C-alpha cells in the first residue's frame, strides 16, 4: 500500500516588513493599516505586532472556527492576560475550570428576566444627565458628549451592581479613580514591550493607588452585603444575585472572586456602553431625518413618562439604530486569542502558541454581507437584512460577553430617556477619525448642542 503524504499548508500571506515599520503603521492608523492589508491579501493575513506575528481573520467562517468550533484550542490573547493585574481572575481573564465555574454561577443573574428588575435603577442613574442636557438646551451651551456618557454609564453600572449600597462620596471616588486605572490598563495591553510590574513609573503608582481605593470600597460593600445576606436580605441588585448564586454542590463565590467579577463588570459595562452611546448620538446628529423618526417613535410609545424594560421591544427603530451603531463601531473591535494546541484556521495550520485575532471591525463592514457597509443604515435591521455570523459585537461562542443583554438594556433605556426630550446637533460634524485602543471611540471630543 502507498503512504498518503499530506502537504503542509502554506503560510498565511502578509507584508514583508520590519517590526519597526509595522509598529509605526499600526500606531499611526491601525484600522487603516488593517483595511489596506485585507485589500491586499484577503480575509486572512499575517500582521506583525511588535515581536510577534498574528493571523488576522476578517471573515465570518474563520471567526466561527476560532470562537466556536475550535474554541477549546484557544485561550485569551496576551493583551487580555495583562489585564489580570487589575481585574484578577474575573470572567474576562479567567481560563479553564475557573472560567467554567464562574460562568455557570453567574449566567442566571444575566438573564433578561433577572435584569429587567434593574431597569428603573438605570433610568434613575441617568436622570442627572437628562437634567444636564435640558439645562444645556436652555442655555445653548455645548456639551462634550463622550464625558457625559462616561459619567452616566458609570452611575448606571454602579447602580445595577450595588443598588443603594454606594454612597455619594464613594461614587465620587469611583468616578475619580476608575479612569486612570483603566487608562494604565489599556496602556499595558497596547504595549509591545512589557516593563517589569515593580518598576515605579508615575502611571503605575497612580494606578496602584486607584486600585487600592476602589478595592476598599468594593470590600466594604461586599462585607455589608454578606451581613445582609446572613440576615435574609441579600438585595435584588446584581451583587445580591451574585452573592446568592450557588453551584450544584452549594458553593458560591468567595469575597476575592466577587471583587474580581465586580471590577470586570465595571470595566466591561462602563466605557464600552459609553462609547456606543457617544457614537449613537453622533450618528443621529449626522442623520437628522433618522433622529426625527426615533423621537417620533419615543413620543408615540412613552409620551412624557420614563422608559421601562417593557418598552424596549416596542421601540424597533431605536433598537435598529443601536444595532447599526454597534455594527459600525463595535466597542471591542478586536478579539485576540492564543492557540493552546496545533490548530487549523482559514485553511492554515498553526502551531501551539500561535496568535490569532478576529477583527470584528472589518468583519462587520464586510461588503459580501452588508450592502453599503460603511454607511449608517438602521433600516437594514427593520428589513431583516442581517447575516448572523457577520455581526458579533459581543463576541461569539462559549465566551460571548455575558453582559450583552445588560449592555443593550442600558443603552436602550439611557438613549430613550435622553432623546425623548432633546434633539442633538454637532455643529462641526464631530471627529471623523477613530481611536482604536482596547476599545473603539472617536479620536477627538464630540461637542454637541442640544435643543428641547
DSSP state of 434: E
Q: What share of the chain is helix, strand, coil (3-state, %, to 5)?
A: 60, 10, 30
Give CA–CA dist 149/155, Å, rounded.
10
122 neighbors 281 (Cβ within 8 angstroms): no
Q: For residue 435, which phi and psi values (nearest 5 degrees)?
A: -100, 110
The residues, any chain, with a CB within 8 Å of residue 247's CB and separated by 6 or more, are 101, 104, 105
Residue 355 has phi, psi (to 5 degrees) of: -95, 130
- According to DSSP, the residues that pair with 44 across neighbouring strands are 57
CA 61 to CA 57: how far, in whole Å?
9
Rounded to whole angstroms, the Cα distance separating 156 from 250 reads 31
Q: For residues 79 and 233, what is the distance between their CA atoms, to the nearest angstrom?
A: 39
Q: d(Cα 249, Cα 66) in Å, to the nearest integer?
A: 32
Q: Which residue has the cell 450592502?
A: 371
Burial of 18 (0-12, 13-18, 19+ CB in 10 A): exposed
Contact (CB, 8 A) for 66 and 334: no
Q: Which residue has the cell 418598552?
A: 311
Residues 448/143, Cβ–Cβ less than 8 Å: yes
According to the annotation, is 359 in a ligand binding site?
no
**Torsions phi, psi of 94, nearest 5?**
-70, 155
The answer to whether the CB of 386 falls within 8 A of the CB of 57 is no
- Residue 104 · residue 242 · CB < 8 Å: no
| CB atoms inside a 10 Å sphere around CB 6 | 6
Give the bridge partners for 45, in sequence order. 56
DSSP letters for 220-250:
HHHHHHHHHHHTT---SSHHHHHHH---TTS
Question: Residues annotated in the binding site for heme, as ranges?
Answer: 401
Give the residue ranges of the annotated binding site.
401
Amino acid at each position: 500500500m502507498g503512504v498518503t503524504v499530506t502537504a503542509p499548508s502554506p503560510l498565511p500571506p502578509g507584508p514583508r516588513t520590519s517590526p519597526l515599520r509595522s509598529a509605526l503603521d499600526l500606531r499611526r492608523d491601525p484600522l487603516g493599516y488593517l483595511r489596506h492589508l485585507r485589500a491586499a491579501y484577503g480575509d486572512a493575513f499575517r500582521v506583525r505586532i511588535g515581536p510577534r506575528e498574528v493571523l488576522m481573520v476578517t471573515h465570518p467562517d474563520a471567526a466561527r472556527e476560532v470562537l466556536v468550533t475550535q474554541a477549546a484550542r484557544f485561550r485569551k490573547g496576551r493583551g487580555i492576560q495583562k489585564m489580570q493585574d487589575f481585574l484578577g481572575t474575573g470572567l474576562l481573564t479567567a481560563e479553564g475550570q475557573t472560567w467554567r465555574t464562574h460562568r455557570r454561577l453567574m449566567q442566571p443573574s444575566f438573564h433578561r428576566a433577572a435584569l429587567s428588575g434593574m431597569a428603573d435603577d438605570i433610568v434613575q442613574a441617568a436622570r442627572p444627565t437628562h437634567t444636564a442636557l435640558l439645562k444645556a438646551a436652555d442655555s445653548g451651551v455645548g456639551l462634550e458628549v463622550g464625558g457625559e456618557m462616561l459619567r452616566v454609564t458609570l452611575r448606571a453600572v454602579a447602580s445595577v451592581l450595588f443598588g443603594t449600597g454606594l454612597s455619594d462620596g464613594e461614587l465620587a471616588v469611583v468616578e475619580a479613580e476608575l479612569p486612570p486605572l483603566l487608562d494604565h490598563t489599556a496602556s499595558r495591553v497596547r504595549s509591545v514591550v512589557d516593563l517589569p510590574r515593580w518598576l515605579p513609573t508615575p502611571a503605575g503608582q497612580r494606578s496602584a493607588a486607584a486600585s487600592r481605593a476602589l478595592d476598599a470600597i468594593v470590600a466594604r460593600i461586599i462585607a455589608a452585603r454578606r451581613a445582609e445576606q446572613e440576615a435574609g436580605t441579600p438585595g435584588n441588585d446584581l451583587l445580591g444575585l451574585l452573592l446568592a448564586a450557588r453551584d450544584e454542590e452549594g458553593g458560591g463565590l468567595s469575597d476575592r472572586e466577587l471583587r474580581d467579577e465586580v471590577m470586570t463588570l465595571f470595566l466591561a459595562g462602563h466605557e464600552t456602553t459609553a462609547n456606543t452611546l457617544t457614537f449613537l448620538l453622533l450618528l443621529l446628529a449626522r442623520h437628522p431625518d433618522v433622529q426625527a423618526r426615533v423621537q417620533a417613535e419615543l413620543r408615540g410609545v412613552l409620551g412624557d413618562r420614563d422608559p421601562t424594560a417593557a418598552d424596549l421591544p416596542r421601540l424597533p427603530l431605536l433598537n435598529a439604530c443601536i444595532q447599526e451603531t454597534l455594527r459600525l463601531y463595535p466597542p471591542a473591535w478586536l478579539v485576540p486569542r492564543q492557540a493552546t494546541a496545533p490548530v487549523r484556521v482559514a485553511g492554515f495550520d498553526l502551531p501551539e502558541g500561535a496568535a490569532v485575532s478576529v477583527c470584528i471591525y472589518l468583519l462587520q463592514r464586510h461588503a459580501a454581507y452588508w450592502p453599503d457597509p460603511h454607511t449608517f443604515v438602521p433600516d437594514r435591521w427593520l428589513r431583516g437584512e442581517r447575516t448572523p455570523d457577520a455581526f458579533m459585537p459581543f463576541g461569539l461562542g462559549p465566551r460571548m460577553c455575558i453582559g450583552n443583554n445588560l449592555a443593550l438594556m442600558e443603552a436602550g433605556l439611557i438613549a430613550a430617556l435622553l432623546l425623548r426630550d432633546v434633539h442633538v446637533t454637532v455643529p462641526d460634524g464631530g471627529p471623523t477619525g477613530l481611536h482604536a485602543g482596547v476599545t473603539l471611540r472617536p479620536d477627538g471630543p464630540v461637542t454637541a448642542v442640544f435643543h428641547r
